[in-house]
Amino acid sequence: MNTYNYNLSEFLNNILDIPRLTQEIQNNDILTIALDYINLKQYTCTITFKAELSIEQHEELTYIVNNHSGESSSEIEITDVHIMSQDPRRSSLTTGGHFCGESFHLHVPAAIGSYDLDISFPFPIALLSGEWVSTAAMNEDVAEICLYPNTIIGAIIAPTVIGEDIIYVSPTVIDNIQVGFHVSIGDIELGRVYEIGENYIKIDRPLDTIYPAMSYINMCIKIINNYLFNSDTVMSFGKDVPDSEILPANTTIKVTYNNLNGLEKLFTLYIAYLY
């Protein structure tokens, strides 16, 4: 047997922090057998190793569980993502209700590559709509716009499995993620969330890499996803949406422009918002 179950009542404070418990087990000199994963379902913590523990090792594991404080081990800040959808006419609840239209410019050089434009405001805004003008020099290029780019919201609590679409995650991921959000590990985008469970998320594509437990999960909200330029036109978004996104102060709106044809161009984004 290489799987060991403990009730939350067996932990010191009746709480569990999976990243901290993982570190405590991996740093223990007696528990020399590799840890596979730790999972929590309702009130039962399941700890699985690559092989069966000896009697001494099992006793040591129980000692670690009984003395586990449950305090967070994270040395980085987990960002709470607050997105409130409100009718623009009621957005004065979180803003002053004042309208502003503003243009932002990104010079794209004559070189194939990816170029970013970060936009933020030192006060809350209600993002209403936006638009840009496509030109012939932009044909075959691709752009996207996302909110909260690469925002860390938690960690994986069990190694991922190649070919599966399920990822077991810490409670902070469940607290902040929503169906439709994109998730990534580092710079590798994993996919878009289509199901959220008690301690897992499912994404819209199978995993092709094994990611270990304690890998940090990033998220972003893409409001424009893989837009392909193919004509001279004005591209508008958000004008027909009845509600607006209320963004806290200093929230990053990231524009990523992928210059695929190698031509020089000036990309101009106009956005309308309430502040």
| Burial class, 38, CB count within 10 angstroms (exposed 0-12 / middle 13-18 / buried 19+) | buried
- Mean pLDDT for all residues in the chain: 86
**Res 16 pLDDT > 60:** yes
Is-above-0.85 flag for pTM? no
- Measured CA to CA, the distance from residue 10 to residue 45 in angstroms comes to 10
Same-domain check for residues 8 and 136: no
Give pLDDT, residue 246.
Answer: 83
pLDDT one-digit tens code per residue, 141-187: 999 999 988 888 888 888 888 999 999 998 889 988 999 999 998 77
127: nearest Cα among 228, 221, 234, 267:
221
| Residue 30 in tokens | 């007696």
* Pair 134, 233: CB distance under 8 Å: yes
* Pair 2, 54: CB distance under 8 Å: no
Same-domain check for residues 130 and 247: yes
Which residue's structure tokens are 């902070």? 172
pLDDT above 90 as % of the chain: 49
- Of 29-33, 85-89, 95-99, 249-253, the least confident: 85-89
pLDDT one-digit tens code per residue, 43-99: 788 898 888 999 999 999 999 999 998 876 554 444 545 443 333 333 344 788 899
- Measured CA to CA, the distance from residue 269 to residue 40 in angstroms comes to 45
Which residue range is the domain that position 135 belongs to? 84-274
Radius of gyration of the chain (CA): 23
How many domains does the chain divide into? 2
| Burial class, 234, CB count within 10 angstroms (exposed 0-12 / middle 13-18 / buried 19+) | exposed
pLDDT confidence tier of residue 243, bands split at 50, 70 and 90: low
Instruction: Pick the last residue of a domain from 31, 66, 101.
Output: 66
| Residue 139 in tokens | 């044909």
Q: Report if residue 221 sits inside a domain.
A: yes
- Of 82-86, 102-106, 214-218, the least confident: 82-86
* Pair 182, 146: CB distance under 8 Å: yes
17: nearest Cα among 40, 43, 42:
40
Same-domain check for residues 60 and 184: no
